[in-house]
Amino acid sequence: MRVSYQSQELLKEKFILNYRREHPKIGKEKLKPVVDRYCKEKGIKCISVSTIGRIIKVFEGKGLLRWEERSKLSYYASNLSSGN
């Protein structure tokens, strides 16, 4: 069965969105093998790391994903101010 290009892109984007919601701190580099495995299972073309990064940025810009990573500096600052 042949899947249209637009349908393939939607499948990949939906998979990335759902996976990132379950694993919010996973980056594009670590997500790439997971996306590749999904694409091979579905018989659709794989995408590059940079494309995965662009998809994540679009979802973050639309508010569909939240970027939750905190810098070490803010982590230490919050611990110092709380007395830990």
Give the dihedral sign, CA 60/63/64/68. positive
Percent of the chain with pLDDT over 90: 58
Count how many domains the chain has: 1
- pLDDT of 67 reads 63
Rounded to 5°, angle at Cα 24 from 19 and 26:
80
- Using a 10 angstrom Cβ sphere, with 0-12 exposed, 13-18 middle and 19 or more buried, the burial of residue 20 is buried
Q: pLDDT digits over 28-66, tens only?
A: 999 999 999 999 999 999 999 999 999 999 999 888 887
| Residue span of the structural domain in which 30 resides | 5-82
Residues 71 and 1: their CA atoms lie apart, in Å, by: 46
